[in-house]
Amino acid sequence: MFRLMMVILLVTLVAFGLNMVIQFGGVVTLEWADYHVEMPTGYMLLIILGTLFALWLLFMVMGWLRRLPHRVDHSVHQHRQQRIQNALEQALLGIAEQDGKALTQAAKSLRHALPKTSLLPKLVHYESHRVSGEVEKADEAARELLKEERTRFIGLRHVMEKAQAEGNHPAALQFARELQKVRPDLPDTTQSLLTELKYTGRYEEAASVLEELQQQRFLPAKKSIREKEHHEQGVLLLMRSREAMVQGHQEEAMHYAEEAYRHQPSFEPVAQHFAALLAQAGTMRRATSVLERLWKERPNDLIAQQYLTVIPAETVKKRLRRAKKLLTLQPEHPAALRAVATAALEVDDTMQAREMLERALQKESHPASYQLMARLLEAEGESQDEILSWKEKARDSLAPSWRCGACGHEAREWHFVCPSCQVLDRMALRQENAAGALIHKA
């Protein structure tokens, strides 16, 4: 606005000056060699102003022509940047929406917009094949990423996940170690290494990696995370104890079992394993104390069975007294009533066994109670038809006691790795069928 006002003012002053010159008149004479020219002063001024304007216009045109290549380059650069931005937005949306076609189109756009040395098209190209489920092309793209130092991490992660999917855990462990070297600061790489160490049975190294993972945490862990880590440490120590037992190192097995129990006293496999080792070592009082503590928190027939058989040379009468202690610790619990009934049958006290079983059946309809009732009727000399009817009711009493939370696979014993889906540490006790093993073995 200011410049426009100045131009208008300048034009007004020039017009006013020309008008003054024309009104007052005057002649300008030019002589050069044999030439003689006379013209009014106003015309002379107009010629001078016209010449100056032409020179100014020529200067402006030359300046515009000089800046033209730069402007063209700038326009091309802006257009290219816009294409790159659009392609990146398309790639990010494709990743968020898991849209393989959008990622493929974004990869093509980036390949044309960026230099051949750029890694971005390769990354989007790999992601497009991965999202689209093109396994072979994704593997090929991952191999290309392995060649570059900056994208090696992504390539390693791909080949590790492929080895995991194929169940090739030794190879996956090797790739996990390389990932840890490339990015030791990432908790995810440490977690991947920890998982593969578990799968390959390297429990001692897994325990040290778990400690390293805890040290990588910047903020205090939530209660749920702390509980999960305690459980994980307890399970690792349990597996180390089992491994030491297989190798015949009883003292080492006891040490790891005790450490596992310190971390996870309420986890059945840990507590029962520790109690079994204590019993083997002749420490019966502590073994029964461990099982009693577990019984208070998680009563079931499997614990009752181990509690009643933890002292092999014990008389049946003493076993009955200890069974009654379970009932004292968990009054009217069906598993405690069945334990007393089992011990009572061993001393031929059918009256007490019947009382306990009737109370247990009032609490719940359980196949273990049905099987015990069949045993009781056999001891009382009842008819075979009635005995068979109770056995028929108990046909499901031998069902597996442990179930995988990932695939639903059932097993008689706890497994660290599910035999069916190979998932780590997802076996949980089926309370409703746990009694079957007790009655079957009694």
pLDDT at residue 255 is higher than 90: yes
pLDDT tens digits for 268-300? 999 999 999 999 999 999 999 999 999 999 898
pLDDT tens digits for 9-19? 777 766 766 66
> What sign results for the dihedral spanned by CA atoms 368, 372, 374, 375?
positive
Q: Please tell me the predicted confidence (pLDDT) of residue 438.
A: 39
Give exposure, 404-437, as e/b (b: 16+ Cβ within 10 Å).
beeeebeeeebbbbbeeeeebbbbebeeebbbbb
Q: Please tell me the predicted confidence (pLDDT) of residue 435.
A: 41
CB–CB of 337/344 below 8 Å? no
Q: Please tell me the predicted confidence (pLDDT) of residue 287.
A: 93
Q: How confident is the model at residue 89 (pLDDT cuts 50, 70, 90)?
A: confident
Q: Please tell me the predicted confidence (pLDDT) of residue 436.
A: 40
pLDDT tens digits for 178-230? 999 998 888 888 889 999 999 998 988 998 888 877 776 654 556 677 788 88
Residues near 318 by beta carbon (within 8 Å), at least 6 away in sequence = 311
Note the residue count of the chain: 442
SS3 411: strand
Interaxial angle between packed helices 334-346 and 301-309, expressed in degrees from 0 to 180 and rounded to the nearest 10 = 40
Which is more confident, 381 or 216?
381
pLDDT tens digits for 159-177? 999 999 888 999 999 999 9
Q: Please tell me the predicted confidence (pLDDT) of residue 441.
A: 35
